[in-house]
Amino acid sequence: MLRISNKKLASYIDHTLLKKEAKEEDIEKLCKEAIEYGFKTVCLYPIHIPIAKKLLKGKKTIPIAVIDFPKGRSLILKKVKETEDAIKKGAMEIDMVIDYMALKNKDYKKVFNGIKAVVETAKPKIVKVILEISELTDNEKIIACALAKAAGAKFVKTSTGFSKSGATIKDVKLMKEIVGKDVLVKASGGIRTKKDALEMINAGASRIGASSSVKIVGGKDKYKKEY
């Protein structure tokens, strides 16, 4: 298995907080941890982006927003408006949820158009497309990856973390095989240890989404007592 330092591993991680009930102090805690440990990003709902933008000003860690999360069923116009709003608030990357029910219904044009609209709206910012792999057959995963790549997404992402299961080594390998070198893979959902993260990177992931990020890099929850 790939061996890398905790510091290097931190640079792969999108430090994530997607609890609807999260308060301002929770976002502050997340950002402090991201700065201290050197996480690549903090991943949040658009409503929390302004707080993160303020706290991360001048830092290497950047704020990213989830769009149409977690179901992916919104009309394309709503996806676009949510993306525009998130970017205005300060989001530097976008993680959007694919309309996986449309995919299952073989409405591939709708799926493609939804991704393409967000990609075009977010340009030149990175867009990651969350496939929600636990809801898809292997054939549907292949089609979803192909559609995301054709629509100009920079990443395909395994999961929201709000469905039946999260990332698996098998799925990360499959996704990477389909998208090739031009598109990257983000593994997210159920990654709680350094071993989990390294297995995903070894399988082909270039980014890790996790809420257990501090534990993954061997850190301590030192800010807990402040709140």
Residue 85 annotated to the active site: no
Catalytic residue among 14, 95, 99, 196: 95
Residue 154 annotated to the active site: no
Taking every pair of Cα atoms in the chain, the longest distance, rounded to a whole number of angstroms, is 50
CB 1: neighbour CB atoms within 10 A?
A: 7
CA distance 65 to 164: 22
Residue 95 annotated to the active site: yes
CA distance 102 to 99: 5
Catalytic residue among 157, 171, 176, 196: 157
Question: Which stretches of the chain are DSSP H helices?
Answer: 6-10, 24-37, 49-55, 76-89, 100-104, 108-122, 138-150, 169-179, 194-203, 213-216
- Closest C-alpha among 93, 164, 162, 105 to residue 129: 93
Residues assigned a catalytic role: 95, 157, 186
